[in-house]
Chains A and B, each alone.
Chain A
Amino acid sequence: MNVASIRAMLRVAAIAIAIAAVIDPSITVFGASRPRIAVIELAPASAVGRSVRDRLTRDLSASYEIVPALTSDAAVAIAIGDRYPAELNGINTDVPEALLVATVTVPEALAPGVRIVRVSSPPEAPPGTVIHLDVELEGRGASRRTTEITASLAGLESSRASHRWTADIERWHAALDIVPFGEPPYVVRLKPDTTETTDAVPASDRSRPVETTDATPVVSGFSRTLETAGGFSRTDADVVVDVRRAPLRVEFYDPRPSWATTFVRRALEADARFQVATLAFTSRGISSQTGGAVPLDDPRLDGFDVIVVGGLDRLSAADVRSLDRYLRERGGAVVILPDQRIDAGPARDLVDGQELTERLLEQPAMLAVTPPVASLRASELLVFRSLMPVNDVIARVPAADASAGPGAPAIVSMPRGDGRLLLSGAMDAWRYRASDNGAFDRFWQSTIAGLGLAVPPPIAISIDPPLPQPGERVDLTVRVRSSGASSVSASLDGNQPIRLLPDPEAGRYRGRFIARETPGRSTLTVEVQGPQPLTASRTLVVPSDVRRVRDAAAPALSMLASSHRGIDVTPERLTELESFVRRAVESPRVPIVRHPMRSAWWILPFVACLSAEWWMRRRRGLR
């Protein structure tokens, strides 16, 4: 073949490619598609998790395209881990609702030891108030040992509790009261120390898991696992509690004089943590007023954290509507203190859905209360016959027969919109206010303080983690209660602006920043512009040594599967998972239309042909 013919062939080939590209022919083929499956191993990685991932990849890759991360076109996601993930692919995002998710729950491999699995602490406490911590510890292989947990503030031991483990796997709830001192926020270190005890425990008692008390759902805190002698590990934990400087604003509203509210009011008026206002109608058109109290229909009512209402039989329908609005829209707390049955009238609407029975006792009963509040005595009671799951029982009438279960609820807190309604059925508790070293006063001071602290402030600032390490990324969440906010801005130490992005939830903004590089304190400031400019700040403690608790109370990973129409299996039942995936995601033979000329790779032969043909002509001296 001579050079001219080669040149011609090259030219023709280039022209053919160009023409074919212009025509863009399509080709229809039939074949089995390969759906994409995301097999995600969640943190923390484990050997079992890796083996599960490898086996699934090996078994399913023949029929599916396996990817290690969640993609938008994945047909199925398989998550491997030991608990519900806070984030997938390193991004804190929601899993698409339509996505089919199956899970493989890998049992958590834990070394023998005692670890703090949950710490429940208040985010803030008023000045001069004890800080109550509920700590949940888990002992593995700790039978016949005694654990003593200490809570210390600034190196000074403030509280201590001990427990003797009787089973190989056991949970213990310790209650610790801390006396705050020094500069807030207070950083409390929890340290469990375990020692061997000598007396033996029957082996039968050690074989079963034991739960000593009920669990509590609120979680916050930090811990670090430490190895002790003999390979027996323990975890320390750090908890941060801020101080609430603003007083708790409480309004007492009495459509008629009521002993029930009078003595609660006196208890709060004697406590500097509260700013009490009263509006009591003593007769028609005659009222007694203190401390800037406002009628229930006044918009300024939203400035109060808690409303305490007595004399319910004189409550008007308008009053009830105002209270309902205050509960739902303001998110405030309302305490109703009946002194007689609530049979009818507008007040009945406040407790709609609750079945109340009047119970009169021969002698006053000491109510069983939720720690840490003090106990109450009462003989005239309104008890709840049934409770909704979302209601919290604060005090119960002790049951005559302990084996028959807990007594009837007498003081109950129930959610109402964004707020909380507390109904006290201890109608004549005020009669016994002098008993038990002023337990009546202490009960109501603690209870109403707790309700007030839970009411959202005008600007709520929350950070995660609450105790960041130097240079750590911190998520900031700002909730603004005012609906008229025109702009919200945040800054760290006054010179580092933080970008806030609005959330789908009204009034909520999220941001992210990096904690200071050196241990110390930073000030986080949030400013809200609007008709009434607001400012809030929070001190951020950046300690050099943080001990965090790993949340053992996180939801099970199976919840992710059940909420996305999948199944949850153990590593031993991967065959079931594979069958499920094959049933759920088929690979049918489907016609596929392809356009071969749309590939960018055609440019290479096209250019090559033209270049070769041009080079040959130049070698011949042609132009």
Chain B
Amino acid sequence: MNTESVVTGAMSAAMRRARWLGTIEAAGWGLVAGAISPVAGIVCAAAIGVWRWTSTRRSSVVVRLERAHPDARNLFVTADELSRDVLKASPGARARVFEDAARCAERLDLSAAFPATRIGWIALFAVVAWGGVEIAHMRGDRLPRGSGGSAAVAPTASGALTGSRLRVTVEIQPPAYTKGKNTTFTDPEQLQAVEGSVAVVSIDASSDQISVEHDGRARSLTRGAGGRFDERLQLARTGFLAVTTGDGARRTIPIVVSPDALPSVRITAPGRDLVYAGGNPRIAFDARATDDYGLRSLILRYTKVTGSGENFEFQEGEIPLTVKSANAREWTGSASRSLAELGLKEGDMIVYRAVAADERPGDGSAASDAFIIEISKLGVAAGDAFTLPEEESKYALSQQMLIVKTERLHQRRGSLAPDALAEQSLNLAVEQRMIRAEFVFMLGGEINDEEVEAEQSVELQAGRLQNRGQRDLRAATIAMSQAEKLLTGTNTAEALVAERTAVAALQRAFSRDRYILRALATRSQLDPSRRLTGNLTDATGWRRLVPNTPENRRTALLQDLLREIAELIRVRLKPDTTETKSVVRSGPIGALSGASVVSGLSRTNVLVLAEEAIRIDPASASLRQVATELQRAADAADPAVRSAALTAAATAAAAEARRAHADAPLPSDSVAPGLGGAFADAMRARLKASRSSEAPQGSRSNEAPQGSRSNEARR
């Protein structure tokens, strides 16, 4: 082998070794600095790497070879310069130099020139640094974070204060029928979605172990092809999404699921119960339906009732409607049928309702209030078996129409001539009198004298409202009389007040919250065989078992939550010198003098508490806020932000706990109950003595406070 190539080969080998060692050394220092932060590690490694690379030039390597082998007596330097033609020499001298250098190169010990012991020391240093970090981590998760310089780690949305990475991206895909657009959120504080939406969760995390919990089901995810963890969630109800990584990072995201409201349906025509004595009239049906997202169908369904007594037959049917849609959310439908087409005969009845369905999968239908059509020559209306909506009952009263008319007249009052106003007002007074007459006849006769009317009203009250309906009717007729008088006097404003009072009384009289015996139709007969029977002598007392009232678990959970939050605040409030104390460390980390150490607030505990809060009741807005604020506190590096978040969480938790707790008991002001009792006894005895000495003028006075009527007054 050529002696020159032997020498240059040895030099190249030395350069390779020097560069390898420099690279490893840079990586080692980067590892040490990475104990503080990843950024610091990268910067440190890069800086040392560049520095080391510049020191591995050929000339530098040759110098180090000469230092390591002083017996070479500058042979390597000379050979290097000759090989680079920096030095000119005769061929003989050149051959002699390379021959001697080759002999020295054969004895060359690269490990002595470029020792690896420094690598060992750096590795040991890195182990110590990372060991310290892990020990600090294990001790209550109280990690030294931040620094006085650029090594500070900004808190990220994933809360990666621990160095772990957790970023949650959620794409909400609303149900197709809602025609809503997909929305993507990154690390959201809270998610809102329509029922039936799909949440596509994509998680970017440093850990390889990811656990996701939603709707009470927990599952582990595996890293996908793109390096992320993906999951699809069906959002059916309000809840939360909890993400936990293997390195301790966690995030809880409240999910508020808004249900798709059922359609709102009502029958606008006839919109009331109909009773026909016969004939074949034609009935026009109009229905109106609205929905928050879109309608799918609108039909009229009916139940035909035939039979008598307690033996009825029921037949279901549908009447298709001709639908007109203003848009997907608002439909109207109409149809027309004669009694013959409906197949109704004497004594039959149909109960009909409009039914609308929205576009959701499954049954998203809703029905309107039901009305009846009855064929009865006796003209007997059905009782209260079928519900009549409250607002419909209002319009069923002609008194309401009179109010509408009076309102219109009152609005036009300024534009009408006095004579015209008086005439129209008188017409309304006549209508009022007619309506009143209907109700007076209902009460059993004509009453002209209002004083007599009032007296009878009091008399009714004396019966302790045994017939409240009649009392209310009486009150309505009195108000109608006043309205009639006021209309006669063209006082439309006060007449309106009286008319409304009459309507209110009528609504009370016919309201459905009172116990009204259902009147049986005349063709219905009681079946004695179906009544309760038995021997009275067998009747005995009985012992009822009351089920145990379950403990209020919600209050207990909320109390625990409050206690935990109080503990967090107490830790924050207690004198903690580590909160702001600057520390100076030796070694590589010591270079970060002035690094602050957070207080004893355990970030993991805060995150766990946030999850516990939302587990209590995900549907509670307050508890969702508690979870959000606690996570904000956990993510916050600024003590002021953390303090504000903890305070907000405490306030929300206290408000929720206040609602869950029972009201405070009535305070007892009795300081000396025995003394009070004796005093009361003495006063009663004196009162009794004074009464007995007085003439018996009646133990009750005729006091009747304003605004009320007392049967004492009648006496």
Complex CA gap A120/B669 in Å reads 9
Judging by beta carbons under 8 Å apart, are A217 and B684 in contact?
no
Residues of chain A with a CB closer than 8 A to B560's CB: 181
Given that A155-B570, A216-B669, A385-B703 are contacting pairs, would A288 and B541 also be in contact in the complex, using a CB cutoff of 8 Å?
Answer: yes
Residues 408-441 (chain A) with a chain B CB within 8 angstroms? 408, 414-420
Given that A130-B662, A130-B663, A288-B542 are contacting pairs, would A454 and B668 also be in contact in the complex, using a CB cutoff of 8 Å?
Answer: yes
Judging by beta carbons under 8 Å apart, are A352 and B688 in contact?
yes
Complex CA gap A155/B573 in Å reads 9
Given that A287-B541, A353-B684 are contacting pairs, would A271 and B566 also be in contact in the complex, using a CB cutoff of 8 Å?
Answer: no
Minimum Cβ distance to chain B for residue A453 (Å): 6
Judging by beta carbons under 8 Å apart, are A360 and B665 in contact?
no
Task: Name which of A65-73, A315-323, A367-375 contacts chain B.
Answer: A367-375
Judging by beta carbons under 8 Å apart, are A179 and B562 in contact?
yes
User: Among the listed A272, A390, A415, A445, which residue makes an inter-chain contact with B663, where contact means beta carbons less than 8 Å apart?
Assistant: A445
Judging by beta carbons under 8 Å apart, are A153 and B666 in contact?
no
Minimum Cβ distance to chain A for residue B310 (Å): 28
Tell me if A557 counts as interface (CB < 8 A to partner B).
no
Residues of chain B with a CB closer than 8 A to A155's CB: 566, 569-570, 573
Residues of chain B with a CB closer than 8 A to A273's CB: 662
Task: Encode B652-692 as 1/0 by CB contact (under 8 A) with A.
Answer: 00100110111111111111011011111101100110000
Judging by beta carbons under 8 Å apart, are A122 and B665 in contact?
yes
Judging by beta carbons under 8 Å apart, are A289 and B677 in contact?
no
Task: Encode A119-150 as 1/0 by CB contact (under 8 A) with B.
Answer: 01010011111111010000000000000000
Judging by beta carbons under 8 Å apart, are B707 and A157 in contact?
no
Tell me if A278 counts as interface (CB < 8 A to partner B).
yes
Judging by beta carbons under 8 Å apart, are A355 and B700 in contact?
yes
Tier of interface size on chain A: 35 or more
Minimum Cβ distance to chain B for residue A191 (Å): 14
Residues of chain A with a CB closer than 8 A to B535's CB: none
User: Among the listed B658, B681, B688, B700, which residue makes an inter-chain contact with A130, where contact means beta carbons less than 8 Å apart?
Assistant: B658
Complex CA gap A144/B91 in Å reads 108
Complex CA gap A414/B701 in Å reads 22
Residues 615-667 (chain B) with a chain A CB within 8 angstroms? 647, 650-651, 654, 657-658, 660-667
Tell me if A458 counts as interface (CB < 8 A to partner B).
no
Tell me if A90 counts as interface (CB < 8 A to partner B).
no
User: Among the listed B549, B570, B681, B687, which residue makes an inter-chain contact with A269, where contact means beta carbons less than 8 Å apart?
Assistant: B549
Judging by beta carbons under 8 Å apart, are B664 and A129 in contact?
yes
Judging by beta carbons under 8 Å apart, are B680 and A390 in contact?
yes
Nearest A-chain residue to B501, judged by Cβ: A362
Complex CA gap A283/B542 in Å reads 12
Judging by beta carbons under 8 Å apart, are A181 and B566 in contact?
yes
Given that A289-B543, A454-B670 are contacting pairs, would A128 and B662 also be in contact in the complex, using a CB cutoff of 8 Å?
Answer: yes
Complex CA gap A454/B671 in Å reads 10
Residues of chain B with a CB closer than 8 A to A388's CB: 680, 683-684
Complex CA gap A408/B542 in Å reads 41
Minimum Cβ distance to chain B for residue A241 (Å): 11
Residues of chain A with a CB closer than 8 A to B651's CB: 157
Complex CA gap A374/B662 in Å reads 11
Residues 347-404 (chain A) with a chain B CB within 8 angstroms? 352-353, 355, 357-362, 370, 372-374, 380, 385, 388-392, 394, 397, 399-401
Complex CA gap A449/B661 in Å reads 14
Tell me if A44 counts as interface (CB < 8 A to partner B).
no
Complex CA gap A272/B563 in Å reads 22
Complex CA gap A154/B464 in Å reads 54
Tell me if A156 counts as interface (CB < 8 A to partner B).
yes
Tell me if B415 counts as interface (CB < 8 A to partner A).
no
Residues of chain A with a CB closer than 8 A to B708's CB: 359-362
Nearest A-chain residue to B461, judged by Cβ: A360
Residues of chain B with a CB closer than 8 A to A132's CB: 664-665, 667
Residues of chain A with a CB closer than 8 A to B701's CB: 357, 385
Given that A359-B708, A360-B709 are contacting pairs, would A373 and B663 also be in contact in the complex, using a CB cutoff of 8 Å?
Answer: yes
Judging by beta carbons under 8 Å apart, are A415 and B670 in contact?
yes
Judging by beta carbons under 8 Å apart, are A289 and B699 in contact?
no
Nearest B-chain residue to A285, judged by Cβ: B541
Residues of chain A with a CB closer than 8 A to B540's CB: 286
User: Among the listed A154, A355, A362, A453, which residue makes an inter-chain contact with B699, where contact means beta carbons less than 8 Å apart?
Assistant: A355
Residues of chain B with a CB closer than 8 A to A164's CB: none
User: Among the listed A156, A278, A289, which residue makes an inter-chain contact with B654, where contact means beta carbons less than 8 Å apart?
Assistant: A156
Residues of chain A with a CB closer than 8 A to B688's CB: 352-353
Given that A122-B667, A353-B688 are contacting pairs, would A340 and B464 also be in contact in the complex, using a CB cutoff of 8 Å?
Answer: yes
Nearest B-chain residue to A123, judged by Cβ: B668
Best-surrounded residue of A126, A158, A352 (most CB of chain B within 10 A): A158
Minimum Cβ distance to chain A for residue B29 (Å): 46
Best-surrounded residue of A291, A362, A394, A419 (most CB of chain B within 10 A): A362
Complex CA gap A417/B709 in Å reads 35
Judging by beta carbons under 8 Å apart, are A420 and B670 in contact?
yes
User: Among the listed A177, A289, A331, A394, which residue makes an inter-chain contact with B664, where contact means beta carbons less than 8 Å apart?
Assistant: A177
Complex CA gap A340/B283 in Å reads 51
Judging by beta carbons under 8 Å apart, are B711 and A156 in contact?
no
Nearest B-chain residue to A128, judged by Cβ: B555
Residues of chain A with a CB closer than 8 A to B520's CB: none
User: Among the listed B664, B673, B687, which residue makes an inter-chain contact with A446, where contact means beta carbons less than 8 Å apart?
Assistant: B664
Task: Encode B127-147 as 1/0 by CB contact (under 8 A) with A.
Answer: 000000000000000000000
User: Among the listed B683, B703, B706, which residue makes an inter-chain contact with A353, where contact means beta carbons less than 8 Å apart?
Assistant: B683
User: Among the listed B569, B573, B658, B667, which residue makes an inter-chain contact with A450, where contact means beta carbons less than 8 Å apart?
Assistant: B667
Nearest B-chain residue to A152, judged by Cβ: B566
Judging by beta carbons under 8 Å apart, are B710 and A370 in contact?
no
Residues of chain B with a CB closer than 8 A to A131's CB: 664
Tell me if A447 counts as interface (CB < 8 A to partner B).
yes
Tell me if A276 counts as interface (CB < 8 A to partner B).
yes
Minimum Cβ distance to chain A for residue B549 (Å): 4
Judging by beta carbons under 8 Å apart, are B680 and A218 in contact?
no
Nearest A-chain residue to B551, judged by Cβ: A272
Minimum Cβ distance to chain A for residue B630 (Å): 14
Tell me if A182 counts as interface (CB < 8 A to partner B).
yes
User: Among the listed B562, B569, B660, B676, which residue makes an inter-chain contact with A415, where contact means beta carbons less than 8 Å apart?
Assistant: B676
Residues of chain A with a CB closer than 8 A to B665's CB: 122, 125-126, 129, 132, 446-447, 449-450, 452-453
Tell me if A442 counts as interface (CB < 8 A to partner B).
yes
Judging by beta carbons under 8 Å apart, are A418 and B570 in contact?
no
Tell me if A185 counts as interface (CB < 8 A to partner B).
no
Nearest B-chain residue to A265, judged by Cβ: B546
Nearest A-chain residue to B684, judged by Cβ: A353
Judging by beta carbons under 8 Å apart, are B666 and A447 in contact?
yes
Residues of chain B with a CB closer than 8 A to A285's CB: 541
Tell me if A611 counts as interface (CB < 8 A to partner B).
no
Minimum Cβ distance to chain B for residue A373 (Å): 5
Tell me if A451 counts as interface (CB < 8 A to partner B).
yes
Minimum Cβ distance to chain A for residue B123 (Å): 47
Given that A181-B560, A269-B549, A352-B684 are contacting pairs, would A400 and B705 also be in contact in the complex, using a CB cutoff of 8 Å?
Answer: yes
Given that A130-B661, A360-B711, A419-B673 are contacting pairs, would A218 and B667 also be in contact in the complex, using a CB cutoff of 8 Å?
Answer: yes
Nearest A-chain residue to B706, judged by Cβ: A400
Minimum Cβ distance to chain A for residue B572 (Å): 9
Given that A177-B658, A285-B541, A400-B706 are contacting pairs, would A271 and B549 also be in contact in the complex, using a CB cutoff of 8 Å?
Answer: yes
Pairs A–B under 8 Å by Cβ, sample size 27: A122-B665, A126-B662, A128-B660, A128-B661, A132-B665, A155-B566, A157-B647, A157-B650, A181-B559, A182-B563, A217-B669, A270-B549, A288-B541, A288-B543, A289-B544, A290-B543, A355-B699, A370-B666, A372-B663, A390-B683, A397-B705, A400-B706, A401-B706, A419-B677, A446-B664, A449-B665, A454-B668
- A residues apposed to B, CB below 8 Å: 120, 122, 125-132, 134, 153-159, 177, 179-182, 216-218, 269-273, 276, 278, 282-283, 285-291, 328, 331, 340, 352-353, 355, 357-362, 370, 372-374, 380, 385, 388-392, 394, 397, 399-401, 408, 414-420, 442, 445-447, 449-454
Closest 4 CB pairs of A and B: A450-B666, A132-B664, A454-B668, A449-B665
- List 9 additional contacts besides A179-B661, A445-B663; criterion CB under 8 Å: A132-B664, A132-B667, A218-B669, A272-B552, A289-B542, A352-B688, A392-B669, A442-B662, A445-B662
